[in-house]
Amino acid sequence: MNSFYKQYQPYISPFDPCPPIKTKTYSTPPNLYMGFQPPHLPQFSPMEALKAGTLWKAFYDPYYSPYENKKGENPL
């Protein structure tokens, strides 16, 4: 399976007035990697689906800010 988070290094001008962000990260949706929706995908219960924003578990994509620590990670 592909990673849902990608990274790239933008061009940094020597004349930028602000300190540059050397590596930028963006999220790609899970449906990008699924050509079609196969039958009998596992589903959330109705209450879980309302909280997750989707009925199918394969399409669930939680958002994690790149500036917050994930569980188990040490702060920088």
Each of the 76 residues of the chain gets a pLDDT tens digit; together they read 457 788 999 999 999 899 998 999 888 888 888 888 888 999 999 999 999 988 999 888 887 776 766 555 544 4
Tokens of 63: 């958002």
Cβ burial of 30 (10 Å; 0-12, 13-18, 19+) is middle
Phi-psi region of 55 (alpha: psi -120 to 50; beta: other; left: phi over 0): alpha
CA 70-32-67 angle, 5° bins: 20
pLDDT of residue 27: 83
For the chain, what are the domain ranges? 5-59
Tokens of 45: 């219960």
